[in-house]
Structure 1
Amino acid sequence: MAGSDIKQSLRKLDFPLCARDALYQIEKLCTRPGKQMELQIDLMSEFVFGEIERRRKRNVPAAIQELQLIEVQSDFFQSPGGIPAVRNALFLSLYPAGSPRYKILGNLVSLAITIHNKAVLNAAGIWMQQLGSTSQESVGLARHILNDYFVLTSKSVDRLQQLPILTPHFTANLLTAIGEVYKDKNPPTEVLRLIGEWINDNPSLLLTSLMDNPALPTGGIPMTPITPIAGLFRWCILSPVRTAAEGSTQNEDEQKLYSKIQHLLMDSVLRLKSSGSNKHAISAQHLAATTRALTLVLQSFSNIEPTSRDLAMERLAQAVSSAMSANCIYGNKQELLLLLQSLSYQHFLIEWTLQTYSTKAV
């Protein structure tokens, strides 16, 4: 069927039926030689998202249309008969980088979590990896999910607890993005507790994105995954000094949670030592950014207690030394070790790390 014929057929249908049928037409186009990408984009814009003026129904509230669209997409992605790689590619096309459709995406993924729609969540996990799980888009999706489950409907947070078992690839990328959400501040205790439970009950989650190959069409190039490890190390390292800089103290529960996560991270990293693989688990640049942040806090606030300062530097030394020992750190290691030098006189573990690994940072 020619593109004009497809459009003419869809224009006979009211929304949301036109959106449903458009998705199946786009899916067919994805499997054909040539794929007719321009036609796919036109069908998405006019019939799926109603972005063409004549397709907007002014007598139907926008919120109702959005809900109908989310239900149509949810049903489409979990319907039988589709090729996962094709539908994952379609998902990426529906929500390209820089798109204004992210509110719809956030609501679609939140619904998928609630009803355990694995197909949508798997596609969302690949979307996050392909755009970058620390990208603005992925972090925005993580914020949307956190707001839905920790703010708007806090009593439904238990829906998140089974995510690592339901869809580990999505959860791993979400965890990396959550690490960026709280890049510059300590996370709420409820979030901290959930993350601790996730990685305690599913230790392999921290490395899932390295081991799972996303289902993409032939010729699709998987983007390099980013593990949650560096972002979570940042939480643990900076939390004592951030709290002290604010003039407050961590309660016993928070102290235990950070300590637990730090040890789980180190255990996961050290397990890589014997595997001989996954040499790209941690970016030296990410640890360097954490080192800069710690140095800045220590220089900016004179009211930080020695115990908080020492705990932060101890955790930094543990993170760097475990990563160097396991040979799972990539990037500019020399820059990282150079940044550590300014802290080495303040803590013996940092000094030891420098002495032990300076000659190996090549």
Structure 2
Amino acid sequence: MSDIRHSLLRRDALSAAKEVLYHLDIYFSSQLQSTALPIVDKATIELVEDFIFHVPKDRGVQLKRMSSLQELQLLEIMCSYFQEQSKDAVRQLIFSALFSPQGNKADDSRMAMLGKLVSMAVAVCRVPILECAASWLQRTHALYCVRLAKVLVDDYCSLVPGSLQTLQHIYTASPRFCCQFITAVTALYDFSSEDLIPSPGLLEMVVTWVVDDPRLTLITFLNMPISASLPLGSLGVTPLLGLVRWCVKAPLAKRAKESAPTADTESFYSKLHLGVLQILLMLQVHLTEKNLFGRLELLQFEHVVQLVEELNPLNASREIELSLNRLAQVLQVSLSAGALLCTREDLRSLCSRLPHNNLLQLVMSGPVQQPPHSPFQPGFYPHIHTPPLGYPPRPSPPAHNTHPSHPAPQFLPGMSFPYRPIR
């Protein structure tokens, strides 16, 4: 490895970077022939950081830095390499070796080049790079994922007017990247401040994706092995949490803005709410097919608790009423679909801090429990789900005593609840 380093020191910056890429290709192709799990050694990482990101470990060595033109040429070389490399495993390994954060001072340079490379890949439709970026977004800490999302939003929604259509077309080029991008961008724009409210253009693009094909948001989940677990701190397996947050918090967001949202913006959030309910209903089928119904919590109760805590119940008005109506519908359909696993007592305790809302009260009361040994029917769900995988069971709620003069309503078999978005 020292011989390679000395050879690279004699080259110009662009030539040295190209040579490192060539070295990575040989290194990983050779490892894949002998082992199914190649390892990136420390020396290889140092070559990448020294001659591609120019963050040397040796203070006594002055490395040549690339000019802006040379950096653009390097990005074009990377685009061509990933496009022409026929082995997906080699592509993924090299992408990971280049751009996986190491927790050191090279990460800023690493993220800056990653943002430029993915932005270029969107512009020229380099699907192999978008697929590698989708895998990167799935296994990398959310802190870095939202940084990449911010770069793409700035490039295509802010800097160049009219370029949003280019980003929107990645839906047909790489649905998997599109799914991960939605997850990252909804995590970034969490309505915690006025600057973290999605722009009308970004909102319209996400709503168009979700409404046109709700199944798009489930691609990562549907393609993950059942036994797979996400790395600690990574994005969720679906963008459900972020999309629910957008729908529920949007009516309250205009309090922080000087101008009221347009009718088009309100219409987009209403369409998005309908799309979220459709996604949840689709989940019921997929969870049942995978034998995970009542065992896998895709909308975690802890995240719902956090969302409720983010709602501002002060000055209760039409806006908070709309937010609570949407929250109630999401909770109802999530429970029915098996995406949210909690008891009615959990909901009553959680929502007790919110202003009174009729629809929310109905959800907390819950439907009549299924008769024993009755077959599963759409629109019905057990009062308490089976404990999710890896989670301890929550305590059972106390029995609900119905007043004698007000008998419990009976649900007729085959009568489905008409889920409609709250407008």
Q: What's the TM-score bracket when you normalise by the shorter of the two chains?
A: 0.7 to 0.9
Q: CA deviation at 1:313?
A: 0.2
What is the SS of the residue equivalent to 1:328?
A: coil
CA contact (8 A) 2:14 2:71 kept: no
Q: 1:35 to 1:13 in 2, by over 3 A?
A: farther
How far is the alpha carbon of 1:147 from its aligned partner?
A: 0.5
Identity %: 26
* 41 and 332 in structure 1: CA distance in 2 versus 1, 3 angstrom threshold: farther
Aligned to 2:300: 283
Distance 1:232 1:67, change over 3 A: same
Sort the Cα spacing of 1:222 and 1:350 in 2 relative to 1 into closer, same or farther, 3 A.
closer
CA shift digits 1:136-155 (9 cap, x unpaired): 10001111110011111122
Residues 287-307 of structure 1 deviation map (CA, whole Å, 9 limit, x = unaligned): 22111111xx113xx2x5x22
Partner of 1:353: 363
Distance 1:65 1:359 in 2: 63
Q: Are residues 1:13 and 2:11 paired?
A: yes
Structure-to-structure mapping, 1:250-269, within 5 angstroms = 250-269=261-280
The equivalent residue for 2:126 is: 117
1:48 to 49, 52, 66: 52
What TM-score does the superposition give when structure 2 sets the normalisation length? 0.74
Q: Deviations over 1:187-237 (max 9, x none)?
A: 1111111111111222211111102249xxxxx976475211110111111
**What is the deviation of 1:113?**
0.3
Alignment match, 2:336: 325
How far 1:352 sits from its partner (Å)?
Answer: 1.5
Distance (whole Å) between structure 2 residues aligned to residue 242 and residue 180 of structure 1: 16
Using the alignment, how far apart are the partners of 2:214 and 2:221 within structure 1? 14
- Mapping of residues 203-222 of structure 1, within 5 Å: 203-213=214-224
| Cα pair distance change 1:318/1:310, threshold 3 Å | same
Are the equivalent residues in 2 in contact too, given 1:284–1:336 (CA < 8 A)? Answer: no
- Which has more radius of gyration? 2
Farther-moved stretch of structure 1 (11-20 vs 111-120)? 11-20
On the 8 A contact 1:269/1:322 being kept in 2, the answer is: yes
Distance change (3 Å), C-alpha of 1:143 and 1:6: same
Moved more, 104-113 or 14-23: 14-23
> Pick from 176, 179, 197: which aligns with 1:172?
179
State the Cα distance separating 1:259 from its structure 2 match. Answer: 0.3
Tell whether the 8 Å contact from 1:124 to 1:170 is kept in structure 2 after alignment: yes
The match for 2:96 is 92
Q: Which structure shows the bigger proportion of residues in helix conformation?
A: 1
Rounded Cα–Cα distance in structure 2 between residues aligned with 1:337 and 1:86? 51
In the alignment, is residue 71 of structure 1 matched against residue 76 of structure 2?
yes
Structure 1, unpaired ranges of 5+: 215-219
Q: Which stretch has the larger CA shift, 321-330 or 121-130?
A: 321-330
Distance 2:138 2:39 in 1: 23
Moved more, 17-26 or 48-57: 48-57
User: Could you tell me how far 1:64 is from its partner in structure 2?
Assistant: 2.7
Q: Does 1:292 pair with 2:300?
A: no
Residues 243, 250 of structure 1: 8 Å contact kept: yes
The answer as to whether partners of 2:186 and 2:239 remain within 8 angstroms in 1 is yes
Q: Which amino acid aligns with 1:24?
A: Y
Give the C-alpha shift of residue 244 in structure 1: 3.9
* Number of aligned residue pairs: 342
Q: Which amino acid aligns with 1:56?
A: K
Which has the higher mean CA deviation after the structures are superposed, 150-159 or 71-80? Answer: 71-80
1:6–1:326: structure 2 CA closer, same or farther, 3 Å change rule? Answer: same
CA RMSD of aligned residues (A): 2.7
